[in-house]
Amino acid sequence: MEEKGVFFMKKEHGIVPKDEIKLVWLIVGELAMWIGASFIWPLTSVYLNKQLHISLSMIGVVLFCNCVGNIIGSIFAGRAYDRYNPYPLILWGFGLDVLVLFAMAAFHGWPEYWILLTTTGLLSGWNSTLINSIATSLKRYSGRYVFSVLYFSQNLGVVTGTLIVGYLYDYSITLLFVIAALLFAVAFFNALFNYRPIIAFHKERVAKGHSGKQQKAEPMPKRNFIMTMAFFTTLGVTWLMYMNWESNLSVYMVSLGIPFHMYSLLWTLNASVIVIMQGILARFPRLFKNIFHQIIFGIIMFSISFVTLVFAKDFLHFALSMFILTLGESTAFPAIPAFVNDLSPLTSKGKYQGATMVASGIGRAFGPLFGGLIIDKAGYLPFFWVAAIVIALMIVMMIPLYLKLHDKLTIYK
C-alpha cells in the first residue's frame, strides 16, 4: 500500500510507516549508548593518574586524541549515511564498540588504554552522527521535537552513567567496562530488530535518484550554507567556552574554599534543569516563535552565565550561573541540529549532521586548553569576560545575517 509516496505496512495494532523508525527506539539506542559512554570518560583522568601514574599533561593528550577520534568518526559517518544503507552502518558501529569495550575490560594498562580510548572516541562520533542523521528521516514529529527528545535522552544517559560509575569505580574497573560493553550490546540488538525501517527509507532515497544508481548529492543553496556556517561557528565557540565548566571551574571553586562535592552538585542541578526544560519545550512547542528565536535565547543565556561568574564567590552564585548556563544549553544545543536539518537537502542531511558533531567536537577538544592559556596568563575573571564577550559576538553575527537571509532560505522537510 502506498500513500503520498510513503510506504506503509499493516500490523496487528494498525498501520505504521514502513520507512520510519519509531522515535522510542531511537531513544532506547541513545540512552544505552550514553549510559555506556559515561562509564568511561569520567574515570579516565582519575584512573590514568592514580592507578597507572600517567602525568596530567599526558592525560590531556589522551583526551585530545579521544576528541579527534570523535571528530573523524563524525565526518565519515555523516558522509556514509548520505551514500549507503544506514542499517548496516549503525550495526557495525554499535557492534565494534561492544568488542572494543570488552577489549578494555581485558586490557586496560598503558598504552593500550590510550589506543582503545581513541578508538571508542572514533566510534562514539560515528554512532552519534548516525543516530542524529537517522533522526532526520522521522516525519511524524517536528525536527525541533525530535532533537529535543534525543538531547534529553543523551543527558539522562550521561547523568545515569556518571552516578553509577562513582559507586562502581572503587569496586572494579573491569566490571565497569563489561557493563559498558553490555549496554552497547543492548543498543546493538535494539538497532538490529527495530531500525530495519531505515532500509526502506534508503531505498526511497535511491529511487528518487537516477534509476537506482548512486544518487548525486544535491548542493546546499548558498544562503543556506552561509547560515549553516554561522550556526557551526556559534556551536564551536560556545563549546569552546562551556568546556571550562568541566575542567577549570572546579579548580577555581576549590580555590575559593568551596568543597569539591559542591562542584559535583552543580552537575546534578545541570541535569535537573535540562530535564525540566525539555519537558517544558515538549509540552509547549510554541514557547518560542520559531527555532531561530530559541537558538538566540540559548546563546544569550550562555553569555550571561559567564558574566555572572565574574561576581560569583560562593556556592549560591555559582548555582545561579549554572542555572542560567543550563537554560542556554537546553534550548540552543538541540535547536541548532534541528535547524541545520531544515536547511539540508535530503541527499546531504547526514553530511551536515556530521558537521554539527564536528563543530561541537572541535570546541570540546580545544576548550580546556584555550581557557587554561588565558587563565594562566591573566586569571579567571578576564577569562569569564572573554567568554561572555566572544559568545555575545556570535549573537551580533547571527541576528543581522538571519534577518537578511531568512526570507530567501530554502527549507527542506
pLDDT at 9 (0 to 100)? 40
In this model, does residue 20 exceed pLDDT 90?
no
Tens of pLDDT along 69-118?
998 999 999 889 988 899 999 999 999 999 999 999 999 889 999 999 99
Domain 21-207 classified CATH 3.30.1490.20? no
Q: Where are the domains of the chain?
A: 21-207, 222-405
Sequence-separated contacts (24+) of 58-64 with Cβ below 8 Å = 60/368, 60/369, 62/113, 62/114, 62/117, 62/118, 64/365
- Which of 67-71, 157-161, 167-171 holds the top average pLDDT? 67-71
Alpha-helical (H) ranges within 136-168 are 143-168
Domains 21-207 and 222-405 share a fold: yes
Q: Which residues on neighbouring strands pair with residue 9, listed in sequence order?
A: 16
Q: Inform me whether the pLDDT recorded for 169 exceeds 80.
A: no
Question: Quick one: three-class SS letters along 285-308?
Answer: CCCCCCHHHHHHHHHHHHHHHHHH
Phi and psi (nearest 5°) for 14?
A: 135, -160
Predicted TM-score (pTM) of this structure: 0.77
Cα separation, 24 vs 80, whole angstroms = 24
- Measured in Å, how far apart are the chain's first and last C-alpha atoms? 23
What is the residue type of 146? Answer: V
Between 3.40.50.300, 1.20.1260.10, 3.60.20.10, 1.20.1250.20, what CATH number should domain 222-405 receive? Answer: 1.20.1250.20
Between 181 and 368, where is the model more confident? 181
Which residues neighbour 291 within 8 Å (Cβ) at sequence distance 6 or greater? 144, 335, 338, 339, 342
The amino acid at 210: H
